[in-house]
Structure 1
Amino acid sequence: MGGDLAGRRILVPESRDLDLFAGMMEQHGAETIRCPMVKILDLDDPAPAVDWLNRLLDGRFDDIVLLTGEGLRRLMTVARAMEREAEVIAAFGRTRIFVRGPKPVKALREIGLAPYASAPAPTTDGVILSLADEDLTGRRVGVQLYPGNPNDILLDAVRARGGEPDAVTPYRYASDSETGAVEAAIREMAAGRIDFVAFTASPQVRRLHEVAESCGLSDAFGAAFRNTRIAAVGPVVAEAVEAAGGVVAVSPQSTFHMKPLVNAIRDLLAKG
């Protein structure tokens, strides 16, 4: 197949949209190596999410902060299991909803809602900035978090503005999925046989690092990051790459989706 990515081998550590993302690059001639890094699962015990949704239904939230689209979708899965989906959507609609980035915006659209405000950058700092001019005195703020990050900085920022945060983490990661494939990917990168690795979520970076350490591949991991150009879908992912000792070669300038990431890789390769 021809295309401006012809002859390029690109590691795709996507999870939920693995085939979609890989297909975007294959359309331009790339050979993709699919490597699902982190599997997203429902909670073993949905009780915390049920309790949070019941507080929402009782009108106890004035504002909502959504950090991920997956978080809203998993909350709606719980709402359907409660047989209260329409009521939950209506309850969300009665609040002001602040979002971190485009993924929760998309998830809101799926249930017919729109955000009150979007963060100027899809980061915790961006969310805090979007709250900077808001007087939250006496307001109760439901905050959707994601696994592995209690985000005390965000919760403290809500409190600093007079608000009362109420956090929920509505899904979990199965980090042990596809360990063999992850180990093989590290070795391929270290050997210089991968042209690009395209990260779309920070847990993918952390998972790569964790597998390297657990399999005695710390040196190979360092070589992998030196020998492979790294693409990051946005600033949160870029921060995770840098924290792991890598350097981001390319990232979309403003729109942090998979298609702009593919185009950013194409533009970089076109420059030689």
Structure 2
Amino acid sequence: MADEALEGEPLAGLRIALPETRQLDVLAQMVERRGAETWRCPLVSILDTPDQEAVRAWLERFNAGAMDDLILLTGEGLRRLAAAAEREGCHEAFVTALSGVRKITRGPKPVNALRELGLKNDLTAEEATTEGVIASLREHDLQGHTVGVQLYGEEPNEKLTGFLRHQGADVDTVAPYVYADESNREQVEALAQGLVRGELDAIAFTSQAQVKRLMDVAKGIGIQPAVTEALNRLLVVAVGPIVADRLAQYSVGVDVMPEESWFMKPMVRALIERLAR
């Protein structure tokens, strides 16, 4: 559907929860201009990891040429690494080293972050998931390679690192950022209870960390099963397959997701297309 589909008020009458943090105002304006009423509840924020020494040590190894490949799971991670390199006075060395390794990306966001540094990726995951990265690397000879892995938050991603080691690679991980709670617990509890009471028509998740926070808080007040049931009654919107996979872990189905280009504007367009059926 062309961008004209975003004109007018195709979302009139829809009350939608937005757990987004960094671009909450942008997303809210995008749907409110199309007639939706929003329930704003930022669930998480992203911070530099407190273990900056580990990031510095990883950058030293990377810049010294210790790695053959680098798997970039998020654009946020690459930007945080570049910012850390800037602080350490080794940004030029970092970009030079980055240009010399094979760069494997999961999804479009790390591709965009590479482009900001004047670089391109060398291998794109078949799907923007851990399984997609594994599938794309399965036929490549990794024996004796040292593979850097930029992690998603603090999650160790043992499925990916285990696969790499099974293929004969040495793995060197780095976690440049962490997720922190954004809204206070009472606000998240109110959102969970509002879902159970049926006060919403839709919810749009833009990161898997948002899903986890909502479910953790719901579990803490004893209503996680009810929240799961409530989510499966309304329109659940996911920005991409990583978020959809996390929702599936909680037995929540996704009704709306862009077919490609996993960003907010395509997500809103996909919602409009869904409602137009």
After TM superposition, is the score higher than 0.5? Answer: yes
User: Which residue in 2 is equivalent to 1:126?
Assistant: 132
Residues 171-250 of structure 1 aligned to structure 2 (within 5 Å): 171-175=177-181, 177-250=183-256
Among 89, 96, 107, the alignment partner of 1:83 is 89
Among 165, 168, 172, the alignment partner of 1:162 is 168
222-231 or 241-250, which deviates more: 222-231
Output the CA distance in 2 between the equivalents of 1:179 and 1:106. 34
1:104 shift after superposition: 0.8
Residues 22-171 of structure 1 aligned to structure 2 (within 5 Å): 22-171=28-177
State the 4+ residue runs in structure 1 displaced beyond 6 angstroms. none
1:29 shift after superposition: 1.8
Q: Is the 8 A contact 2:41 2:183 kept in 1?
A: no
Describe the shift of the 1:176–1:264 C-alpha distance in structure 2 as closer, same or farther (beyond 3 A): closer
1:149 shift after superposition: 2.1
Describe the shift of the 1:132–1:199 C-alpha distance in structure 2 as closer, same or farther (beyond 3 A): same
> Match of 2:255, SS?
strand
Output the CA distance in 1 between the equivalents of 2:149 and 2:199. 42
215-224 or 141-150, which deviates more: 215-224
Deviations 1:81-125 (A, max 9, x none): 101112211111111100011111111111111111111110001
1:177 shift after superposition: 3.9
Q: Is the 8 A contact 1:234 1:251 kept in 2?
A: yes
1:223 shift after superposition: 4.3
Could you list the runs of 5+ residues in structure 2 that have no partner in the other structure?
1-6
Output the CA distance in 2 between the equivalents of 1:71 and 1:269. 34
Matched, 1:255 2:261: yes
Instruction: Report the identity percentage.
Output: 44
Describe the shift of the 1:217–1:80 C-alpha distance in structure 2 as closer, same or farther (beyond 3 A): same
Q: Is the 8 A contact 2:154 2:175 kept in 1?
A: no
Output the CA distance in 2 between the equivalents of 1:45 and 1:239. 28
Among 9, 13, 28, the alignment partner of 1:7 is 13
Q: Is the 8 A contact 2:205 2:237 kept in 1?
A: yes
Deviations 1:26-58 (A, max 9, x none): 232222222111111111120111111100111
TM, length-normalised to structure 1: 0.93
Q: Is the 8 A contact 1:53 1:88 kept in 2?
A: yes
Q: Is the 8 A contact 1:225 1:245 kept in 2?
A: no
Q: What is the aligned-residue RMSD (CA, Å)?
A: 1.7
Q: Is the 8 A contact 1:11 1:197 kept in 2?
A: yes
25-34 or 135-144, which deviates more: 25-34
TM, length-normalised to structure 2: 0.92
Describe the shift of the 1:220–1:55 C-alpha distance in structure 2 as closer, same or farther (beyond 3 A): same
Output the CA distance in 2 between the equivalents of 1:79 and 1:67. 18
1:42 partner letter: D
